[in-house]
Amino acid sequence: MQLSLFIKAHIEFILAEWETFARTLIPPAETMSVHLLRATAREILLDIAQEMDLAQTEGERRSKSEGLALQASTRRSPATEHGSLRQLAGFNLTQLNAEYRALRATVLRLWADRAAADDARIEAEADDQINRFNEGVDQALAESIASYSHDVAISRDTFLAVLGHDLRSPLGALSTCVQILGTPGADDARKQRVLQIARRSVASIDEMITDLLEYTRSRLGRGVEVIPTLADLHPLCQEACDEVRSAHPKRVLTCRMDGDLVTMFDEHRMRQVLRNLLTNAVQHGDPLLPVILEVGGDTEQVHLIVRNHGKPIAPDALQVIFNPLVQVAAAQSAPDERPSTSLGLGLYIAREIVVRHGGSITVTSSAAEGTAFKVQLPRSGKGANAAPSFH
CATH number at residue 177: 1.10.287
Average pLDDT over residues 351-368: 90
Tell me how far apart the alpha carbons of residues 79 and 62 are, in angstroms, rounded to a whole number. 19
Residue 122 is part of a domain; what is its CATH number? 1.10.490
Tell me which residue range forms the domain holding 173. 158-219
Q: How confident is the model at residue 332 (pLDDT cuts 50, 70, 90)?
A: very low
Residue 7: pLDDT over 60: yes
Is 276 a domain residue?
yes
Tell me how far apart the alpha carbons of residues 65 and 83 are, in angstroms, rounded to a whole number. 18
Instruction: Report which of residues 170 and 43 the model is more confident about.
Output: 43
Do 86 and 202 sit in the same domain of this protein?
A: no
Do 100 and 81 sit in the same domain of this protein?
A: yes
pLDDT in tens, 24-83: 766 666 656 666 677 788 888 888 888 888 876 676 666 655 555 544 444 578 888 888
Do 237 and 296 sit in the same domain of this protein?
A: yes
Do 113 and 201 sit in the same domain of this protein?
A: no
Is 383 a domain residue?
no
357: DSSP letter: B
* 139, 69 Cβ separation under 8 angstroms: yes
Of the residues 134, 156, 178, which one is the last residue of a structural domain? Answer: 156
Give me the pLDDT at residue 111, please: 84
Do 108 and 240 sit in the same domain of this protein?
A: no
Is 342 a domain residue?
yes
Instruction: Report which of residues 230 and 23 the model is more confident about.
Output: 230
Instruction: Report which of residues 191 and 265 the model is more confident about.
Output: 265
Give me the pLDDT at residue 219, please: 60
* 166, 345 Cβ separation under 8 angstroms: no
Of the residues 156, 176, 207, which one is the last residue of a structural domain? Answer: 156
3-state secondary structure of 89: helix
Of the residues 156, 173, 194, which one is the last residue of a structural domain? Answer: 156
Which range is least confidently modeled, 102-111, 261-270, 299-308, 320-329? 320-329
Convert 153-185 to b/e letters by CB count within 10 Å (16 or more is b). eebeeebeebeeebeebbeebbeebeebeeeee
Tell me how far apart the alpha carbons of residues 36 and 44 are, in angstroms, rounded to a whole number. 14
Give me the pLDDT at residue 246, please: 77
Do 192 and 253 sit in the same domain of this protein?
A: no
Is 103 a domain residue?
yes
Give me the pLDDT at residue 381, please: 57
Residue 302: pLDDT over 90: yes
- DSSP per-residue codes, 188-203: HHHHHHHHHHHHHHHH
Do 35 and 107 sit in the same domain of this protein?
A: yes
Give me the pLDDT at residue 188, please: 77
Give me the pLDDT at residue 206, please: 79
Do 307 and 283 sit in the same domain of this protein?
A: yes
Is 386 a domain residue?
no
Question: What is the spatial order of strands in the sheet that 370-378 belongs to?
Answer: 253-257, 291-297, 301-308, 370-378, 360-366
In the chain, the number of structural domains is 3
Give me the pLDDT at residue 30, please: 61
Is 307 a domain residue?
yes
Residue 370: pLDDT over 90: yes
Do 164 and 147 sit in the same domain of this protein?
A: no
Is 389 a domain residue?
no
Burial class (CB in 10 A: 0-12, 13-18, 19+), 332: exposed
Do 296 and 168 sit in the same domain of this protein?
A: no
Question: Whole-prediction pTM value?
Answer: 0.55
